[in-house]
Amino acid sequence: MPLLAALLDPADRAAFLTTPEGTWSRHELLGWAAAIAADLEGAPIVAVHAVPGAPTIAAVTAALLAGVPIVPVPPDAGQLERAHVLRDSGAVLMLSDDPSAAADSGLPIVPITRVQRSGTIPAEPAGTQPALVLYTSGTTGAPKGVVVSRAAIVADIDALATAWLWTPDDTLVHGLPLYHVHGLVLGVLGPLRLGARLAHTGRPTPQAYAQQAGTMYFGVPTVWSRIAARPAEARRLAAARLLVSGSAPLPAPVFHDLRELTGQAPVERYGMTETLITISARADGERRPGQVGLPLDGISTRIVDESGSLLPADGTTIGHLQLKGPTLFDGYLRGGVAGRPVTEAVQPPPLVDGWYPTGDVATIGPDGWHRLVGRASTDLIKTGGYRVGAGEVEDVLLSHPAVREAAVIGLPDDDLGERITAFVVGDPVPPDDLIAFVAERLAAHKRPRAVHHLQELPRNSMGKVQKNRLRDVH
């Protein structure tokens, strides 16, 4: 079945896509995207100025119809970041309604919003063809282009449909950015394949979510935290059957608040740009705070130590998470394809005996449930001969009534190797009181050695705390 299976039913004229700009049926969106696709014929790779809203959705759909890999460019990207993405990807044009969107690159601009429509629908490309080139956040250097095939997207959406009981009867509501896996692959391509209706709110505010009558809502922890802080808006979501949280760990207090206010616990899931979504709680199953669930159909996981030796799935041993399955990316784009097909410029994934090393650390329980500790580089703290997961300490700090946000890192220490250091947002509390609070609830070696109060934690556009920036704050 094609990636855009639900869209390719031209007889369907019911409302499908709703955004602040208006409402479109599948028939109308297909005609709009087909007209744009005609302008992309023969292009090796194109970019889209991924502002939130219907034009970006139409542009991405057009590129997929045309069989042309597309690079979403964040609208808030700085000049250097935008220039790097456009240069590195080798995009030959930019889809945008803003004539200045690619002014620094000299790329031709193809307008998205247009009056003309087309009834000529290109043939579906092979599933092995690249669909998206998504640029990573670049926390360890310049952002890298992750090449994702049509087949990987289809496998992921179908596995999530099984896990979440996602059907054409659903209405998905979200306001997430349209240049990441969560907002774009799940939040746009999911409905285009499965037939569910989509309401994109432009911005993911509590008021915007409450105004839409959805059966499924997608959000990142920052979104859910703000919704939980607005009880009236949160209760408006009680009629939904699924609240999905991802892209960063959902704090346990927010999990419990949402369950109390909406009558259901949120579903958490795990994924990354290179693997798409691979682990999730089930719509018809248990949901546990601080845990992301079970591998999706077709996905295998394991944890290993630094030498690559297999570690036990006992629920307590922390190890490096590896996985394999049909949702893995094709590889990283070698910079500057310069008009060549993307398939000729892909560096294969760095697999270890067929397994992809995610760079994350986790525990796996005897029942298969996964708890993500975080990134190996920042969230696995080696202190005094012990291995401590930052997330465990953060969860305890968040259970203190005065703490609204918490981030824990390891800082260099001559005696301990690394000392556990906490950064909190909330009401003023003496640091020693918070240290004692943790020491009473966890092993003594897991307590923070220092606590710093901040006005806010540094976060990226998806709500992930940028812990590397905290190293300069203490």
Residues 268, 323, single domain; the answer is: yes
Closest to 183 measured CA to CA, from 122, 126, 247: 247
CA separation for the pair 55, 223 (Å, rounded): 23
348 lies in some domain: yes
Q: What is the pLDDT of residue 340?
A: 66
Residue 333 sits in the same domain as residue 408: no
Q: Are residues 130 and 211 in the same domain?
A: yes
pLDDT above 90 covers what percent of the chain? 64
Partners of 95 in the beta sheet?
Answer: 48, 110
Residue with tokens 């990573």: 136
Residues of the domain holding 449: 384-470
DSSP letters, 85-131, are HHHHHT---EE-S-TTTTTTTTPPEE-S--S------PPPPPTTSEE
Q: What is the pLDDT of residue 66?
A: 94
**Lookup: tokens for 3:** 């990636």
Mark residue 227 as left, alpha or beta (left: phi above 0; alpha: psi -120 to 50; beta: remaining). Answer: alpha
The amino acid at 390: A
Mean pLDDT of 131-152: 84
Query: Rounded to whole angstroms, how far apart are CA atoms 201 and 196?
Result: 16
Virtual CA dihedral for 238, 244, 245, 250, nearest 10 degrees?
A: 50
**Among residues 336, 364, 392, which one ends one of the domains?**
364
Q: CATH number for the domain including 190?
A: 3.40.50.12780
What is the SS3 assignment for 405? strand
Report the pLDDT value the prediction gives residue 248, as an integer from 0 to 100: 79
Same domain for 333 and 402, yes or no, is: no
pLDDT in tens, 298-333: 999 999 998 999 999 999 999 999 999 999 999 998
pTM of this structure: 0.85
Say yes or no: 358 and 393 in one domain: no
pLDDT digit string (tens) for 219-243? 988 899 899 999 999 999 999 999 9
Contact (Cβ atoms closer than 8 angstroms) between residue 246 and residue 187? no
Q: Per-residue pLDDT for 170 more than 90?
A: yes
CA distance 283 to 217: 13
Burial 127-148 (b: 16+ CB within 10 A, else e): eebbbbbbbbeeeeeebbbbbb
Same domain, 140 and 271: yes
CB atoms within 10 A of CB 402: 13
CATH of the domain at 423: 3.30.300.30
Residue 200 has pLDDT above 80, yes or no: yes
Domain co-membership, 276 together with 420: no
Give the C-alpha distances (Å, rounded to integers) separating 267 from 98, 203, 220, 226: 37, 21, 11, 17
* 87: nearest Cα among 460, 339, 341: 339
The residue-averaged pLDDT of 77-104 equals 85
Residues facing 421 on adjacent strands? 409, 450
pLDDT at residue 153, rounded to an integer: 97
* Structural domain contains residue 7: no
- The upper half-sphere exposure of residue 58, i.e. CA atoms within 13 Å in the direction of its Cβ, equals 33
What is the distance between the alpha carbons of residues 267 and 289, in angstroms, rounded to a whole number?
9
Give pLDDT tens digits for 419-474.
999 999 999 899 999 999 998 888 788 999 999 999 988 887 666 788 888 887 76
**Last-in-domain residue among 329, 364, 399:** 364
Pair (442, 324) in one structural domain: no
| pLDDT, the chain, mean | 90
The answer to whether residues 81 and 176 belong to one domain is yes
Asked if residue 209 belongs to a domain, the reply is yes
Q: Indicate if 126 and 272 belong to the same structural domain.
A: yes
- Is 372 domain-assigned? no
- Say yes or no: 348 and 408 in one domain: no
Percent of the chain with pLDDT over 70: 95
| pLDDT band per the 50, 70, 90 thresholds, residue 358 | very high
- pLDDT band for 137, please (50, 70, 90 cuts): low
Rounded CA gap, 106 and 101, in Å?
10
Tally of domains in the chain: 2
Whether 418 is covered by a domain: the verdict is: yes
